[in-house]
Homo-oligomer: A and B are copies of this chain.
Amino acid sequence: MQSKKMKLADLAKLAGVSTSTASRALNNNPLIKEETRNKLQALAKKHNFSLNAAASRLRLQKTNVIAVLINFDAETEQSIDDPFLLKVVSDINLAVNRQGYELLLSNSYMAGDDWHGYFIDGRRADGVIVVGQGKQQARIERSASAGTPLVVWGDPKTEGDYPIVGSDNYRAGCMATQHLLDQGARRVLFMGDPAHAELAERYRGFCEQVDKTPDATASLLKIDITSQAAYEVINQTLLSEGLSFDGIFACSDMVALGAMKALKERYVSIPNDVRIVGFDDIAMADISSPSLTTIKQNTRLAGQVLVDKLLAQLHGDKPQPTQLDVELIKRQSS
């Protein structure tokens, strides 16, 4: 551990050049002779020199940091446990790094209500990616209209002056439901809460497909998006109404798995008595038994698109919302 942090001026002195030259050399500025550049870069490596990011940021008015904030509703705080959300964050992280940015992981706790002030004016990040619209979009709106470079993972059909990236939830809802119907289900159940914009779209597709089918009926089980809630509500429904359905479209795999557990405990056969389709395609979908038919959301691509659109905003563009394709993964549960 060297006693004192080396600064650019020290490195410059060592090399016998000015700090300006050193700065330019490290940033590969072609103004500087290549020979000098190489020499300085080598010297920097040799002495484990790193630029002081705080100083750079102050000078450049740019942080090279992207804030990711998980927008969970206070009530459903547990949803942060959903492996899918964390997978999204993880894939965003990958994409962010690939662009040479860093990822500040945050949540409403630190950022408070004034995201623009905190992240942008506070020079903590150059832009914000919000994961999950949540039920209230007030804070997102406010931040966007304050001029925050902002991208949201959510339902791309929602209107707003910020780009939303998300799956084509309506089509996904259609696909999943049609598949249930194709497999012979007629009394189908939607599990989830249409108060969420994304789920509303899935529900819309769901209802539409059912309506198109003469002898099919739809019902809605409005629940929090947790496996626990799903387990309980299915248990309760079976108890009070018996097996009043033969198909389930669950708004997430965790919900589907919770429902499956309740069904199995009561010896309802899957997929013979009840067909189930989930959403997300988390790792568990493949491992559960029966394995879970589900709609796969392409989180890898999503991360990339989110970051691209954010960077586009930093460059002054005004990118459009994007709908990502989804894929029906057929497995044993249907």
Contact = CB atoms under 8 A, between A and B. Distances in A.
Interface of A: 1, 5-6, 48-55, 57-58, 63, 65, 68, 80-81, 83, 86-87, 89-90, 93-94, 97-98, 102-107, 109-110, 114, 116-118, 121-124, 145-147, 227, 231, 254, 257-258, 260-261, 264-265, 283-284, 286-289, 291
B287 A227 contact: yes
A152 B116 CA distance: 33
B124 A53 contact: yes
Contacts of A90: 80-81, 86
B102 A110 contact: yes
Nearest to A1: B147
A122 B44 CA distance: 13
A128 to B, nearest CB: 13
Contacts of A227: 283-284, 286-287
A122 B58 contact: no
Contact of A83 (B68, B83, B258): B83
Contact of A102 (B6, B52, B104, B261): B104
Given A48-B116, A231-B287, 15 more contacts: A5-B121, A48-B146, A49-B117, A51-B122, A53-B124, A54-B54, A54-B57, A86-B86, A86-B90, A227-B286, A227-B287, A257-B284, A257-B287, A261-B287, A261-B289
Nearest to A148: B1
A87 B97 contact: no
B107 A105 contact: no
Contact of A287 (B51, B107, B110, B258): B258
A145 B2 CA distance: 11
Contacts of A86: 83, 86-87, 89-90
Given A50-B121, A87-B81, A261 B288 contact: yes
A15 B55 CA distance: 28
26 contacts: A5-B121, A6-B121, A48-B116, A48-B117, A48-B146, A49-B121, A50-B114, A50-B121, A52-B122, A52-B123, A53-B122, A53-B124, A55-B58, A81-B283, A83-B86, A86-B90, A93-B105, A97-B107, A102-B104, A102-B124, A227-B286, A257-B284, A257-B288, A261-B287, A261-B288, A261-B291
